[in-house]
């Protein structure tokens, strides 16, 4: 019996969550002529500081920007070649991001790498510095610095590391393919994380619609100390941190607290594979698997260099099948971010690029709430989304807080299911930003 | 090239308000067919007038008030059709006409339109018609035709007597087929049950309210020494449960609330039937629970993920 949580949705049932487009496509590498690498791919720390300038020749894996502060992570050149530009470029966010553009010389000339060797026998104290030096941040989408996540404060008792291979987002198969093709790396990464955080129990959690991945990972995990493979029911948002902790351990993360307060650390399987590379070979995070799908000629799972321009990746998949794309999403259709242009970059957190047609991208007009209670049924945090939406529309932020608006995980299940096409999650997100801004001002 | 920008979700569920209302209309088709079979042109005329009046008053109101015209959500058509199906065949057509206008203008639009009314429009209209023109509203005809599906010979006489503790099989069959007196759409229980099954399969309604309401009616009747099956199948209980008590707008948002709503309505039906002046209590039972709904919504709390542990 697969484990799960209460609530959630089965998005896009007619399309089988958009997965069949790429779930049996093996990962293929693609390298572009230029890469534009953002320096703010991680959260929780300022953008990294450039240490190269225009005209410099850089080697693959060379640090091009240093992390700032204890949480910061460095950024590495993902190709060998010449630095073309150091400056601000429009990326996914509202404001431009500092970026370093490198022209690829297609030599793939690496800097010298020095790893720790075996994850089971290396010095556990050396693991976190290796992870930080490799520039690893959460590759599931959030981009939280991994070394920082694994440094458990002395007052917290963490006993479980969970690797998240649920991949409940629509259209994406990057994690699915990774688990099928590189299961050993995933397991090694988990062991490294467990040893670094001094934890005995590790889970690799996979939705039960990926039986082949469960089999591959189970085989790789056989005989490894403290590693368990768990099947989760295929349901969105099964891969959300709080929901995966609940499903596996039965624990709930206290409101306003972190997973560590429930004794858990949750990491994406892609991050774990990057950790394995970093620890074993000392290899920095310079490439990742990204599913490029939707209205493209050959939907694919590409192994892309960090900094690959979306348009290049789409070109590698045969280009658009529509005359003019309506929307290009970084991520899946539930929580992905709509790109402002085709020229934004693949970052450490880009699990997918989904192209929608003009018709699919045209949003429907909101109509009045008919109190169908579907949002209440699906909310994985057991909130009352319809009520929060009304309070947000009335700008009653106090009442919204009393109704647990800050507990919302912004999974957009409520907006997805709403027959009145209401932008419930958007309103909640905006109101929360206002609340956070007010709290910062100390109002 | 201009790309669309928005937050997620970028693709939505196919089910939207018009498709939900369309499903309700489809679920009503068997009842409409039964009413046409039993009462012919009389039923057709009633249904046409009630539906047209509801749709027209919605249009005129939204036009005059310069509001967006929302006829394409089909909700006015559902209300109109429900009012028509709740009429006895003998009713003069101006009665459902007034009912439809009242339901749309007074009960629905004056309170803010779709989603804002606190009473089910069709039921509120029926209640008003029942008190204003009781003679027209209660003169039900036993249909001249009978429906047997060739399964058995129908005996219309059998059901004129008072409800016995255990009803003869023939009575139950007549109740199911609709070979009894009653409102044109609610007599054929098979047609209503088909609608219920369709709504459940399509995921339009959830099981909580129908199961709790019908279960309570059966249980309460049994406690009072009546035949539970006859209690559920007679009068407007089934029709009211399936099509009125499941109205989203006027029922609670939480599952617990919906269960309480169903149980409450079921208790009220049996109380009104057995101890009230009216022979049938479905209309008032559901309307009373409609009024209770905001209280249920306000007083019932959900346990939010991670909530208790924070305090404990």
The structure's pTM equals 0.93
Q: Does B207 fall in a domain?
A: yes
Work out the pLDDT band at B160, boundaries 50, 70, 90.
very low
Percentage of chain A exceeding pLDDT 70 = 100
Q: For residues A430 and B6, give the distance between their C-alpha atoms in angstroms, rounded to a whole number.
A: 12
The DSSP code sequence of A149-191 is HHS--TT----EEEEEE---SSS--HHHHHHHH-HHHHHHHHH
User: Any CB–CB contact under 8 A between A26 and chain B?
Assistant: no
A370 CB neighbours in chain B (<8 A) are 17, 20, 75, 114-115, 248-249
Distance from CA of A284 to the nearest CA of B (A): 31
For strand A352-357 and strand A325-330, is the pairing parallel, antiparallel, or unpaired? antiparallel
Is residue B157 predicted with pLDDT exceeding 60?
no
Question: Cβ atoms within 10 A of the Cβ of A200, count?
Answer: 10
User: Any CB–CB contact under 8 A between A16 and chain B?
Assistant: no
A256 CB neighbours in chain B (<8 A) are 306, 310
Domain A13-24+120-281 class? alpha beta
- Residue B149's pLDDT is 58
Distance from CA of B38 to the nearest CA of A (A): 34
A252 CB neighbours in chain B (<8 A) are 305-306, 309
Of B10, B248, B253, the CB nearest to A338: B10
Task: Return the closest-CA partner of residue A99 out of A34, A50, A33, A39.
Answer: A39
Top-confidence residue, A343 or B157: A343
Quick one: average pLDDT of B127-136? 92
CB spacing of A338 vs B248 below 8 angstroms = no
Length of chain A: 443
- Residue A443's pLDDT is 60
Top-confidence residue, A417 or B280: A417
Q: What is the pLDDT of residues A47-70, one digit of tens each?
A: 999 999 999 999 999 999 999 999
Length of chain B: 312
Q: Which residue of A has its CA nearest to B113?
A: A368
Top-confidence residue, B258 or A442: B258
Work out the pLDDT band at B180, boundaries 50, 70, 90.
confident
CA–chain centroid gap for A391, Å, is 30
According to DSSP, the residues that pair with A265 across neighbouring strands are A161
Quick one: average pLDDT of A299-324? 97
Cis peptide before A424, with omega less than 30 degrees from 0? no
A264 CB neighbours in chain B (<8 A) are none
Q: For residues B102 and B56, give the distance between their C-alpha atoms in angstroms, rounded to a whole number.
A: 12
Work out the pLDDT band at B2, boundaries 50, 70, 90.
confident
Work out the pLDDT band at B308, boundaries 50, 70, 90.
low
Domain ranges of chain A: 13-24+120-281, 374-441
CB spacing of A370 vs B114 below 8 angstroms = yes
Residue with tokens 């080697």, as numbered in its chain: A59
- Residue B309's pLDDT is 47
Task: Return the closest-CA partner of residue A133 out of A277, A260, A267.
Answer: A277
**Which residues does A349 contact at the CB level (< 8 Å), separation at least 6?**
A41, A137, A138, A139, A140, A141, A142, A143
Segment (H or E) for A356: strand A352-357
Asked if residue A124 lies in contact with residue A130, where contact means CB atoms within 8 angstroms, the answer is no
Distance from CA of B13 to the nearest CA of A (A): 5
Q: Which of A244, A261, A367, A402 to mutate to test the interface with B (most CBs of B within 10 A)?
A: A367
Q: Which of A272-276, B126-130, B240-244, B273-277 has the lowest mean pLDDT?
A: B273-277
CATH number, residue B260: 1.10.3430
> 3-state DSSP call for residue A290?
strand
Please give the tally of structural domains in chain B. Answer: 1
Segment (H or E) for A50: strand A49-50
Computed over every residue of chain B, the mean pLDDT equals 89
CB spacing of A425 vs B5 below 8 angstroms = no
User: Any CB–CB contact under 8 A between A315 and chain B?
Assistant: no
**Which residues does B205 contact at the CB level (< 8 Å), separation at least 6?**
B199, B246
Asked if residue A234 lies in contact with residue A3, where contact means CB atoms within 8 angstroms, the answer is no
Task: Return the closest-CA partner of residue A328 out of A365, A289, A359, A295.
Answer: A295
- A112: region left, alpha or beta (phi > 0 left; psi from -120 to 50 alpha): beta
The DSSP code sequence of B189-241 is HHHHHHHHHHHHHTTSS-SHHHHHHHHHHHHHHHHTTS-HHHHHHSTTHHHII
Is residue A369 predicted with pLDDT exceeding 50?
yes
User: Any CB–CB contact under 8 A between A318 and chain B?
Assistant: no
- The ipTM estimated for the assembled molecules is 0.93
- Residue A47's pLDDT is 96
For A161, list phi and psi in degrees, rounded to 5: -110, 130
Top-confidence residue, B154 or B298: B298
User: Any CB–CB contact under 8 A between A335 and chain B?
Assistant: yes
What are the structure tokens assigned to A440, written together?
Answer: 């910062």
Q: Does B309 fall in a domain?
A: no
- Residue B143's pLDDT is 76
- Residue B310's pLDDT is 44
CB spacing of B19 vs A419 below 8 angstroms = yes
- Residue B281's pLDDT is 87
Q: Does B71 fall in a domain?
A: yes
Work out the pLDDT band at B83, boundaries 50, 70, 90.
very high
Is residue A31 predicted with pLDDT exceeding 60?
yes
Computed over every residue of chain A, the mean pLDDT equals 96
| Long-range contacts at B256-260 (CB < 8 A, ≥ 24 apart) | B256/B300, B257/B293, B257/B296, B257/B297, B257/B300, B258/A373, B258/B206, B258/B208, B258/B209, B258/B212, B259/B208, B259/B209, B259/B212, B260/B296
- Residue B8's pLDDT is 87
- Residue numbers of B between 113 and 172 with CB closer than 8 Å to A: 113-116
**Which residues does B277 contact at the CB level (< 8 Å), separation at least 6?**
none
- Residue B148's pLDDT is 64
Asked if residue A195 lies in contact with residue A201, where contact means CB atoms within 8 angstroms, the answer is no
Q: For residues B182 and B273, give the distance between their C-alpha atoms in angstroms, rounded to a whole number.
A: 15
Q: What is the DSSP letter of A309?
A: B
Q: Does B11 fall in a domain?
A: no
B17 CB neighbours in chain A (<8 A) are 367, 370, 419-420
What are the structure tokens assigned to B155, written together?
Answer: 């005996």
Cis peptide before A237, with omega less than 30 degrees from 0? yes
Q: What is the pLDDT of residues A136-152, one digit of tens each?
A: 999 998 899 999 999 99
Q: Does B281 fall in a domain?
A: yes
- For residue B100, what are the domain limits? 17-146+162-298
Q: What is the pLDDT of residues A225-234, one digit of tens each?
A: 999 999 999 9
Quick one: average pLDDT of B126-134? 93
Q: Kindly provide the residue ranges of all beta strands, DSSP E only, lying in A208-296, ordered along the sequence.
A: 227-232, 264-268, 287-294
For strand A160-165 and strand A264-268, is the pairing parallel, antiparallel, or unpaired? parallel
Greatest Cα pair distance, chain B, in angstroms, is 76
**Which residues does B116 contact at the CB level (< 8 Å), separation at least 6?**
A368, B108, B249
Q: In what order do the strands lie in the sheet with A264-268?
A: A227-232, A201-207, A160-165, A264-268
Asked if residue A331 lies in contact with residue A350, where contact means CB atoms within 8 angstroms, the answer is yes
Q: Does B192 fall in a domain?
A: yes
């Amino acid at each position: 019996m697969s484990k799960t949580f209460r609530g959630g949705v089965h998005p896009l049932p007619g399309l089988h969550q958009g997965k069949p487009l790429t779930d049996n496509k093996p990962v293929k590498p693609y390298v572009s002529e230029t890469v534009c690498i953002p320096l703010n791919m991680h959260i929780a720390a300022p953008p990294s500081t450039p240490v190269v300038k225009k005209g410099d020749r850089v080697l693959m894996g060379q640090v091009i920007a240093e992390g700032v502060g204890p949480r910061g992570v460095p950024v590495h050149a993902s190709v060998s070649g010449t630095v073309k530009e150091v400056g601000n470029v429009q990326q996914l966010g509202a404001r431009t991001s500092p970026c370093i553009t490198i022209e690829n010389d297609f030599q793939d000339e690496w800097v010298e790498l020095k790893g720790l060797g075996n994850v089971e026998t290396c010095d556990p104290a050396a693991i976190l510095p290796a992870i930080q030096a490799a520039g690893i941040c959460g590759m599931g989408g959030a981009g939280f610095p991994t070394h920082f996540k694994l440094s458990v404060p002395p007052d917290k008792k963490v006993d479980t590391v969970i690797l998240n291979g649920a991949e409940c987002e629509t259209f994406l198969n990057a994690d699915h393919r990774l688990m099928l093709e590189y299961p050993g790396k995933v397991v090694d990464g988990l062991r490294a994380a467990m040893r670094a955080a001094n934890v005995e129990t590790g889970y690799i959690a996979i939705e039960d619609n990926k039986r082949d991945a469960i089999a591959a990972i189970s085989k790789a995990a056989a005989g490894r100390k403290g590693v368990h493979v768990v099947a989760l029911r295929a349901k969105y948002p099964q891969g959300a941190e709080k929901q995966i902790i609940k499903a596996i351990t039965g624990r709930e993360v206290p409101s306003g607290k972190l997973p560590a307060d429930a004794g858990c650390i949750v990491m994406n399987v892609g991050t774990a594979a990057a950790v394995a590379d970093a620890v074993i070979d000392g290899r920095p995070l310079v490439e990742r698997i990204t599913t490029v799908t939707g209205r493209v000629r050959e939907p694919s799972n590409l192994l892309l260099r960090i900094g690959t321009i979306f348009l290049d990746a789409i070109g590698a998949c045969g280009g658009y099948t529509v005359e003019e794309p309506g929307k290009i999403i970084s991520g899946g259709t539930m929580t992905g971010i709509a790109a402002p242009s085709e020229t934004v970059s693949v970052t450490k957190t880009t699990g997918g690029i989904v192209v929608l047609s003009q018709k699919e991208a045209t949003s429907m007009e909101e109509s009045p709430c008919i109190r169908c209670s579907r949002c209440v049924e699906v909310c994985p945090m057991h909130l009352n989304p319809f009520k929060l939406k009304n309070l947000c529309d009335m700008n009653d932020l106090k009442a919204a807080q009393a109704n647990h608006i800050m507990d919302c995980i912004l999974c957009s299940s409520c907006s997805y299911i709403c027959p009145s096409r209401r932008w419930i999650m958007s309103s909640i997100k905006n109101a929360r930003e206002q609340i956070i801004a007010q709290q910062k001002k100390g109002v | 090239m201009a790309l669309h920008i928005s937050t997620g979700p970028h693709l939505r569920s196919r089910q939207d308000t018009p498709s939900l209302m369309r499903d309700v209309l489809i679920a009503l088709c068997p009842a409409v067919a039964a009413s046409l079979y039993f009462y012919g042109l009389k039923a057709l005329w009633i249904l046409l007038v009630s539906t047209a009046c509801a749709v027209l008053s919605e249009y005129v109101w939204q036009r005059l008030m310069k509001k967006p015209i929302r006829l394409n959500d089909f909700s006015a058509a559902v209300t109109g059709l429900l009012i028509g199906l709740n009429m006895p065949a003998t009713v003069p057509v101006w009665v459902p006409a007034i009912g439809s206008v009242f339901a749309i203008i007074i009960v629905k639009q004056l309170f803010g339109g779709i989603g804002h009314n606190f009473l089910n429009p069709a039921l509120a209209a029926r209640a008003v018609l029942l008190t204003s023109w009781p003679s027209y509203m209660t003169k039900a005809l036993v249909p001249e035709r009978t429906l047997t599906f060739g399964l058995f010979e129908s005996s219309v006489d059998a059901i004129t007597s008072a409800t016995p503790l255990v009803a003869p099989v023939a009575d139950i069959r007549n109740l199911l087929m609709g070979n009894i007196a009653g409102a044109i759409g609610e007599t054929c229980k098979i047609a209503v049950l088909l609608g219920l099954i369709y709504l459940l399969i399509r995921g339009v309604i959830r099981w909580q309210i129908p199961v709790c309401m019908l279960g309570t009616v059966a249980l309460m009747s049994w406690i009072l020494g009546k035949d539970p099956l006859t209690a559920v199948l007679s009068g407007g209980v089934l029709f009211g449960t399936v099509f009125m008590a499941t109205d989203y707008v006027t029922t609670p948002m939480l599952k617990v609330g919906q269960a309480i709503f169903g149980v409450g309505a079921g208790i009220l039906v049996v109380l009104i039937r057995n101890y009230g002046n009216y022979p049938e209590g479905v209309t008032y039972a559901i309307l009373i629970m409609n009024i209770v709904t905001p209280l249920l919504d306000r007083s019932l709390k959900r346990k939010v993920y991670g909530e208790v542990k924070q305090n404990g």
